[in-house]
Amino acid sequence: MSETISAAKVKELREKTGAPMMDCRSALTEAQGDMEQAVVVLRKKGMASAAKKAGRTASEGAVGTYIHAGGKIGVLLEINCESDFVARTQDFQDLLKDVAMHIAATDPRYIRKEDVTAEDMEREKEIYRAQAAQTGKPAPVVEKIVEGKMSKFYEEVCLLEQPFIKEQSVTIGQLIAQKVGKLGENLMVRRFARFKVGDANWTVAQIKQVSEG
């Protein structure tokens, strides 16, 4: 199998994922040379690394902008990290640009599921419950239907739950987790604002503070 894991293949995986060379070789070995499976292995490791770092303070970072459609849509976005050094890296700046571009395209209303207001959550549940009740199905089944529809609702309105527009198989939350694994620091979308010319309902969202629960 060592002949299969060539330097060219390791280089290709590194270019696809941005992961360190040794991690790429290890992932390819674990995946028995299968490139797509190796990507999955790296993603899983990135998610594990992100979970370990999630509790660490991210008080540095940068503000990025993205202007779209000939100046008709604009996004202002803050992403935090743990050090000014990481904030200046190309990987961090690329992430800032990609997430701002994604927000311009999808117009999310919240950052995380935890940020959705109780009013919005209950309103959606009532609507879905009423719709499901009309099918005549038993209450437990109705609640399962509501649960499924709420998952779709979160995907539509919460930034971290949305499939990344440039790679639909990855959510924004997973994209950030991959960068955490690569950069070795906790990363957090702090807040964003999205403006559209002529639209009075511009979007402003920020992450709830830990003290708020």
Collect all residues with Cβ–Cβ distance below 8 Å to 210 and sequence separation of at least 6.
none
DSSP state of 211: G
d(CA 121, CA 147): 11
Residues 121 and 195 in one domain: no
pLDDT of 49 above 70: no
pLDDT of residue 7: 85
Q: Map residue 188 onto helix, strand or coil.
A: strand
**pLDDT tens per residue, range 155-184:** 999 999 999 999 998 999 999 988 988 888
Q: Do both 140 and 97 map to the same domain?
A: no
What CATH number is associated with residue 98? 3.30.479.20
Residue 2 lies in a domain: no
Asked whether residue 162 is assigned to any structural domain, the reply reads yes
172 with 206, same domain? yes
pLDDT at 194: 96
Do 44 and 134 share a domain, yes or no?
Answer: no
Residue 167 has phi, psi (to 5 degrees) of: -155, 90
45 lies in the same domain as 69: no
The confidence score (pLDDT) of residue 95 equals: 97
Question: Do 121 and 19 sit in the same domain of this protein?
Answer: no
| Same domain for 134 and 64 | no
**Same structural domain, 175 and 195:** yes
Q: Cβ(74)–Cβ(194) under 8 Å? A: yes
Establish if 137 belongs to a structural domain: yes
Q: How many domains does the chain have?
A: 3
Residue 25's CATH number: 1.10.8.10
Closest CA to 115 of 163, 63, 154: 154
Could you tell me if 199 and 185 lie in one domain? yes
| 162 and 207 share one domain | yes
At 202, the pLDDT band (50, 70, 90 cuts) reads confident
Higher-scoring residue by pLDDT: 170, 200: 170
| Within-domain flag for 170 | yes
Return the half-sphere exposure (C-beta side, CA atoms, 13 A cut-off) of residue 204. Answer: 1
Per the prediction, the chain carries an average pLDDT of 86
pLDDT at 1 over 60: no
Q: How many residues does the chain have?
A: 213
Residues 136 and 171 placed together within one structural domain of the fold? no
Domain, as residue range, for 162: 60-113+158-212
Residues 205, 109: Cα–Cα separation, whole Å: 6
Please check whether residue 22 lies inside any domain of the structure. Answer: yes
Instruction: Indicate whether 104 pLDDT > 60.
Output: yes
101 in a structural domain = yes
**Parallel/antiparallel/unpaired status of strands 163-164 and 167-171:** antiparallel
State whether 39 and 97 are in the same domain.
no
Q: What is the predicted pLDDT for the residue at 143?
A: 87
Q: Does 122 reside within a domain? A: yes
Give tens-digit pLDDT for 83-102. Answer: 999 999 999 999 999 999 99
Identify the pLDDT of residue 50: 59
- Confidence band of 11 (pLDDT split at 50, 70, 90): confident
